[in-house]
Structure 1
Amino acid sequence: MARHDTLTDLPNRLMMREQLEEILASSNERGLSTAVMCVDLDNFKSINDTLGHPVGDALLRAVAGRIRNTVRETDAVARLGGDEFVVVQGNVEKPEQASSLAKRLIDALDDPYIIEGHQVLTGASVGIAVADPDHEAADDLLMQADVALYQAKGDGRGVFRFYEEGMNKRLQRRRALEAELRSANLDEQFHLVFQPIIGLGTNKVTTFEALLRWTHPVHGPVSPDEFIGIAEDTGAIVQLGEWVLRQVCMEMKSLPDDISIAANLSPMQFKRDDIVETVARVLVETDTPANRLELEITETLLLEDNRKLHADLRRLRQLGTRISLDDFGTGYSSLSYLQKFAFDKVKIDRLFIKEITKSADQAAIVQTIVNLAFTLGMTTVVEGVEMEEQLRIIRAMGCDEAQGNLFSKPILARDIPGFLDEHKRRRYAA
């Protein structure tokens, strides 16, 4: 029976389990602990789908090499299948040793890979289970590390999590939501709310950003932070995203002609769907002018700087829609994105606005983004504006538009006419 993975030459599941039993026994003899780590690549499926299986296979071999080079010779490394690896760390005196190794693994796997002429960007999430001496069986440890990995990926990826007792309940809830999301009646359980974006030169509403909400018949309101990730992982985001586009276009008909609606696009909609064909079809079927539809993307999509992405964004603009870069300044964002991609708008993340009245550094960053966007002919939108003083500062910087609770929290479609009437009478900081 085979004991090694043919692609990476690492031990396979069978051999790894034997090694785990040996390391557990050795650690127990010394009165020490054993840590089991499940390591899973982030965005591997999309890399496979976009660049092809030969690149994906080469990436897995490169990842295996980096893991080997990061661990000790006495640690065991195996590939379970797909993009999931296991590291077994013996003779652990304290949990900090396991967290230190997990950090090193994440850092090692985060560096760019050059494969067949492609720069491939990925990362890893790690789930950790630590066995006390004479306490856990091998199978239990593997299951617990896998549950912790599930939690890590749900918490934003590129992180590690230790197994905790409560994780089983969270895992059960997530799996239940996965199944229920696939079968949900979208019209009955989902709805949109709308937050206005204000032109600082005119004090008029230029756009409403559409935000998706899920009211589950049993669980009640489910946070977007929870269900959007589930929808992306399961592929349900494609159907859900088209539903949002259709609802946005239908709501557009009740708004004044000079107001647009912005819809958020997930990176998975670009990878699992012909997003350009979907947008074009919805515009035609709802008889919506393309220039009133804004499409917001985040920098996560831009990590894969490939020809298809460039082509999709170019074709979407050719339809007449406007493209916005959302949450700019967080995560992987860099000013170079503004030069590489032809965005109509750049939305500066609320992170920079929160401390702008106290931090000269934050103010300088915002001013730099505003200046570059102006040079490139892009509109700047500042998110998260909640105070008059923040508004005064960004207005003086030359920002074009602002969004935040100072103007309005997200509201239902039926409340938009009343808000527009009230907004005409409001005055803000000059």
Structure 2
Amino acid sequence: MGFSRRVGPPIVSAAVATLVLTNFAMVLLAERASHDGHLFASIWPIALTSTVAVVLVMSFLFRSIVEMGAELERREAEAQHQALHDQLTGLANRALLEDRLEQALCRYRRSGEQLALLILDLDRFKQVNDTLGHTAGDDMVRIVAERLRALLRDSDTVARIGGDEFAIIQARPRGEADVRSLCERIIETVGEPYRLGEREARVGVSIGAVFAGPDIATATDLLRKADITMYRAKAAGRHCFRIFTEAMDADVQRRDQIETILRAELAAGGGPELHFQPVIGGDGKIASVEGLMRWDQAVVGPIAPAEIVPVAEECGLIEQLGYNLVRQACALARRFPDLSISINLSPVQFRTMDFPAVLRRLVEGEGVPCSQLELEVTEQLFIDHGPLCEPALQALREAGFRICLDDFGTGYSSLSCLRRFPVDKVKLDHSFVDLAARDQSIALIRAAVTLGHAMNMEVIAEGISCEAEEQIALEAGCDGLQGHLYARAMPADQLQAWLAEAGKARISDAA
């Protein structure tokens, strides 16, 4: 019952009763004051008339109170709906989703009624906003919401929890097959074309799904694990789904641990170190060394670069880490002024517009000529940051740095990269050397060498681990060789001893 219906009648009843009693008391007093009763007879009609008038006025006021109360209740209901629903799509919002998740978890703990939570994130949605505008993006979100509603049962809940992010509570799924079936239908339905004005657009969707379990205490836990799983689907190529496993959570916990330790050690002046692997020239002499990141952390043990770099990129430590490694390379360069040293750069470092100038000042401040350092980048830099990296690479070359394209042949734009971007050297990925197809490998590497030489580039073969691979690379005409056949990456002090002992050896003796 609403406020007006609860409060209005008692107020009006009390007012009328008070008025009647007051008039009755006035009449009695008047009657006692008048011995002949004439005063009573004259007052009674007035009192009766006033009572009727007041009752009519109070009835009008009561109706007004009821109407005002109804309007207030409507506005309260509307405000409550807006507080729990997304204004663009009308779907439940995060607050309502979390409330229903808590209720579903209570039912799960009480009766074992299973539930699954799905987190959905649209793929390539930013491209729609950038090319067609935000109005078209809003239209697409509304259409996606309608398509999702049509796929679900009344007992399920679908919510919009972000710009292009949705969540679904699937009530009482019949095992993993039921969740997989729903995910497949969502991917198919969301992937259908969208008519946005005069244009047609397409997007994909990445889905992470998680079941309720005894280790999940709150809705926040369930949302966190579903979010982890959704990003695994993103990393797997997008437009697909993944179902949560405990290994995923362990990976996230390890990444968080690595971030915490890395941040603390960098702040204290420590962190990963460079180990150096020699590159042997075609004449059998040391051509250069490559600085490779190594981190044998005291708490968690050895951590591979493949773990360190993504964490540093995501948490904003890549610049600090990169410049720390550059200083280590410069320290070796000061000890060996005639030795060329290469270091790897992350594509994320190129997002800073003044990166070339900052790097140049750092190296020169360390007392090392820029020409002594080679900067290794991968094709991913050109693919992800083409418009930004081209002027940056040009500025780095003008400062004296040499640019090396690492892992050549593993991306999708090798030839266009060589033609468009300023590169001094390419390193052929180990996949070029195939002992089972020796003649084909020689022909393929020779083609790459011919192309590189035609563009005034040196060509280095990486990953040489045996004499047969060495022979293939030499027959194909490579300018240099690098791999475990000659030496593994080693700390600077060990490198000094290795250079003294094997620096002048021929390739055939260097192993």
Asked whether the 8 Å contact 1:11–1:77 carries over to 2, the reply is yes
Task: Tell me, yes or no, if structure 1 residue 194 matches structure 2 residue 276.
Answer: yes
The alignment of Structure 1 onto Structure 2 pairs a total of residues equal to 405
The answer for the alignment partner of 1:358 in structure 2 is 437
Equivalent position SS for 2:384: coil
Conservation of the 8 A alpha-carbon contact between 1:357 and 1:389: no
1:74 to 143, 151, 159: 151
Matches within 5 A, 1:238-253: 238-253=319-334
- State the shift of 1:20 in Å: 7.6
Q: Residues of 1 paired with 2:145 and 2:445: CA distance?
A: 42
Q: What one-letter code is carried by the residue in structure 1 that aligns with 2:453?
A: F
TM-score normalised over the length of structure 2 = 0.64
The more displaced of 305-314 and 66-75 is 66-75
**Structure 1: stretches of 5+ with no match in the other structure:** 25-30, 111-121
Instruction: Supply the AA of the counterpart residue of 2:427.
Output: K
Inter-partner Cα distance in structure 2 for 1:352 and 1:388: 15
The CA RMSD over aligned residues, in Å, is 4.6
Which of residues 274, 287, 291 in structure 1 aligns to 2:354? 274
Query: Which residue of 2 is the match for residue 264 of structure 1?
Result: 344
Distance change (3 Å), C-alpha of 1:330 and 1:16: farther
Do residues 394 (structure 1) and 476 (structure 2) align? no
Larger radius of gyration: 2
Aligned to 1:118: none
Residue 376 in 1 paired to residue 455 in 2? Answer: yes
Q: Which residue of 2 aligns with 1:315?
A: 395
Q: Could you tell me how far apart the structure 1 residues matched to 2:435 and 2:397 are?
A: 33
Please tell me whether the aligned partners of residues 334 and 367 of structure 2 are also in contact (alpha carbons under 8 angstroms).
Answer: no
Whether 2:502 is the aligned partner of 1:425: answer no
Partner of 2:3: none
User: Structure 1 residues 212, 21: CA separation in 2 closer, same or farther (over 3 Å shift)?
Assistant: same
What is the one-letter code of the residue matched to 1:387?
C
Q: Does 1:207 align with 2:288?
A: yes
The alignment status of 1:293 with 2:370, answered yes or no, reads: no
Question: What is the CA deviation profile of residues 189-226 of structure 1, one whole-angstrom value per residue up to 9, with x for unaligned ones?
Answer: 432100111222x1122221111222323223222222
Instruction: Give me the TM-score of the superposition, normalised by structure 1.
Output: 0.75
Counterpart of 1:199 in structure 2: which amino acid? Answer: G
The offset of 1:83, in angstroms, is 6.7
Q: Distance in 2 between matches of 1:378 and 1:62?
A: 51
Does the Cα contact within 8 Å between 1:124 and 1:157 map onto a contact in 2? no
Q: Which moved more, 1:335-344 or 1:82-91?
A: 82-91
User: Aligned in 2, Cα 1:285/1:294: closer, same or farther, shift over 3 Å?
Assistant: same
Q: 1:270 to 1:98 in 2, by over 3 A?
A: farther
Q: What amino acid maps onto 1:292 in structure 2?
A: Q
Contact 1:357–1:390 at 8 Å: present in 2 too? no
The reply to whether residue 324 of structure 1 matches residue 324 of structure 2 is no
Letter in 2 for 1:381: I
Q: 1:13 to 1:371 in 2, by over 3 A?
A: farther
Asked if 1:178 corresponds to 2:259, the answer is yes
* Residue-by-residue CA offset, 1:82-103 (whole Å, 9 max, x unaligned): 6755466789666477668879
The alpha-carbon deviation at position 167 of structure 1 amounts to 3.7
CA contact (8 A) 1:33 1:131 kept: yes
Give the CA deviation at 1:371: 3.2
Q: Equivalent residue of 2:508, what SS? A: coil
In 1, the alpha carbon distance for the partners of 2:478 and 2:181 equals 43
Residue 74 of structure 1 aligns with an amino acid whose one-letter code is: L
Higher fraction of strand: 1
Residue pair 2:262, 2:271 contacting (<8 A) in 1 also: no
Q: 1:53 to 1:43 in 2, by over 3 A?
A: closer
- Superposed displacement of residue 127, structure 1: 3.4
Distance 1:311 1:273, change over 3 A: closer
The answer to which structure has the higher helix fraction is 2
Aligned to 1:219: 300
Instruction: Give secondary structure in 1 for the equivalent of 2:498.
Output: helix
Change (3 A) 1:127 1:294: farther
Query: What is the DSSP-based 3-state SS (H/G/I as helix, E as strand, rest coil) of the residue aligned with 2:465?
Result: coil
1:338 aligned to 2:415? no
C-alpha contact (below 8 Å) 1:60/1:83 kept by paired residues: no
Distance 2:397 2:403 in 1: 7
1:203–1:64 CA distance, 2 compared to 1 (3 A)? farther
